[in-house]
Amino acid sequence: MANNNTSKAASKTNQNDQIDIYYAITDAIKPYIEGARAGNTELLQSAFYANATMTGIMGNELMHANAIESFEQFESKPSPTLRVHIASIDISGSVAVAKIEFDEWMGMRYTDFLTLVKYNNIWKISAKVFDTHAVD
């Protein structure tokens, strides 16, 4: 019986650890979301590593750039009606991928896939791949 209780306790601890990691990742994403909503480039950029990349299709053009530099275009362009949904987060050790749905960000809908890396006990976004959609 002791082995079964030990196994249940270990499973509960592992589950609690996963929940803590999930919340740490959502906390790491929040500055990106709130920066987008407020049109605050500095806040938006704080969620990313300095050498993070951003890739996606804008119109008919492939965009591939440094994420930090690309976000300068959002300064003073708040989107107060922005709606955001974290659709999923997949975690493996010190890396994670989050799928985020943005609705009504500067007149568009975006689906972002964010790759996050935990380094020195801090989660940050290392890459963003996105798709744009017309607002319905």
Q: What is the pLDDT of residues 113-132, one digit of tens each?
A: 999 999 999 999 999 999 98
Instruction: Just give the CATH number of 2-134.
Output: 3.10.450.50
Query: pTM for this one?
Result: 0.84
Cβ-contact 43, 34 below 8 angstroms: yes
Length of the chain: 136
30 sits in which H/E element: helix 2-38
Is the Cβ–Cβ distance between 45 and 88 less than 8 Å?
no
pLDDT per position as a tens digit, 7-56:
555 555 577 788 999 999 999 999 999 998 998 999 999 999 999 999 99
Delimit the domains of the chain by residue range.
2-134
Question: What does the pLDDT read at residue 13?
Answer: 58
